[in-house]
Structure 1
Amino acid sequence: MRTDLRDVTGFRAQQEVRTQRSDPLNSAPMEFNTPAGWRGQFQLDRGSSAVDDLIVQIESDFWTKGSIGSGTIYQYVTEPDGSTSTYEFVGVSLTLIDSGHYHAENIVKQVVAFYASQRKKL
């Protein structure tokens, strides 16, 4: 199921790594990092039920089918020279960490957190 989100107002992603360390007796310590996925979140102004419907579908699939599928997030960045860089986050799981505060005459702001197994440049 493809979901296009309008009015994304913020996006952040951080690489996760697993630190590997060796402390040999006959030389200096060595350390290196191995990739361990990406974590992030994005904020949006609720202009439709798209995020709510997506989360409901994920939850429904779990309770009726006993499984949770993974998804893909595309990030489009306009570079200073006017070109566009496109990044693909794969193996994504989502959590709606704030579905918003609904009150009269105000914009409902939502926050979605994600974990992705890998980030690729397209």
Structure 2
Amino acid sequence: MANPYSIGRDCRITVLWNGQRVDLRDVTSFGASQETHALRASPLNGMPVEFNVPNGWRGSFQIARASAALDNLVAAIEAAYWNAGTVGSGTIYQYVTEPDGTTSTWEYTNVSIKLKNDAWQSDQMVHQTVQFFASTRAKIS
């Protein structure tokens, strides 16, 4: 019997930066949360109402460092800013294998990233954490 629920290994991500794929081989976790801006009204003759306006997505992912790919990306982003004053953006694709065997693909656009955690310890694997903000998340398939 197939697994009736989604589990962590049902998800994989791909990062594109300035149209180039960044090979992050061992992504070990991924999470994203919708951000909203609350609009509120408190009518004199009724109960308060609130509307949540979409305001981007914030998330993070972690990799087990298997190459300098992430470090090279962060260095390239910094160099582009300091050398030419440009701040690039990327796209994250999240692929989820659903319990029924189909695949859902989500596209996070206008992504900005920052390397949050880069701890090196003796006889320990290095795990790097990236925090990101995306303007939108759209369902591709």
Residue number in structure 2 paired with 1:112: 130
**TM-score, normalised via structure 2 length:** 0.82
**Residue deviations 1:50-75, cap 9 Å, x none?**
10000000000000011201110011
Unaligned runs of 5+ in 2: 1-19
Residue number in structure 2 paired with 1:22: 41
What amino acid is aligned across from residue 130 of structure 2 in structure 1? V
- For these two proteins, the number of residue pairs brought into alignment is 121
CA distance in 2, matches of 1:102, 1:50: 20
CA distance in 2, matches of 1:4, 1:82: 25
Structure 1 residue ranges, 4+ long, deviating more than 2 angstroms after superposition? none
CA distance in 2, matches of 1:100, 1:110: 7
Q: Percent identity?
A: 53
How many angstroms does 1:27 deviate by?
2.2
**TM-score, normalised via structure 1 length:** 0.94
Find the residue that maps to 1:2 and give its secondary structure.
strand
1:34 counterpart = 2:53: yes
What is the alpha-carbon root mean square deviation over aligned residues? 1.1
Structure-to-structure mapping, 1:40-119, within 5 angstroms: 40-103=59-122, 105-119=123-137
